[in-house]
Amino acid sequence: MDDERDERASDEGDDGRGGRNFDPRDADPRADDAAGAADVDADVEEDEEDDDDLEELDGEERDEVTVEIRGLSLYTHHGVSAAEREIGQRLLVDLRMAVVDCDAVVTDRVADTIDYGEVCQLVALVAQQRSYKTLERLCAAIADRVVSDYGAEEVWVKCTKPEPPIPLAVEEVSVELWRAGDGA
């Protein structure tokens, strides 16, 4: 019975698995290895082309890229009052980082730019590892770490308290700081 089904599938152009047009590479794992090797070769050639493009750009002006993070929400313990530092509150952080001569515009590699995921982790660490009385000091601490750890040319940091502990109706309070890096 199985032989009859196989013959019918073969006569109808069926691959025996419910599909048509059987590709012999599907049955041969060595074909997958060869295809994978071809993909790796293509990636290497692409990287070499990117490096050639970078060499052509040496000495010329390259793009300045701005990496921006908006609305990073963190639970922190910053403020003048003891209650703010003890109980804590939600804080929103916005950042802009200037990356001069950003190679990622050519190479498409994360390693050639500022990884915003890593920056978010760094900001969370800085904002949550200790308590500051002022948002100004917190902004400065964040900017200093981003400049030192990522070499950003310029950093703009904004820290916002969406529910500030004041007796008047206020939508939010915030502090902004702009800092030039060592190379600017």
Question: Which positions are catalytic?
Answer: 161
Residue 144 CA to residue 135 CA, distance in Å, equals 14
Q: Is 169 helix (H, G, I), strand (E, B) or coil?
A: coil
CA angle 35, 22, 28 (to 5 degrees): 40
DSSP string for 56-94: HHTTS---EEEEEEEEEEEEE--SSSHHHHHH-EEEEEE
Strands (DSSP E) along the chain, which ranges? 64-76, 89-100, 154-161, 173-180
Q: Any idea what DSSP says for residue 151?
A: -
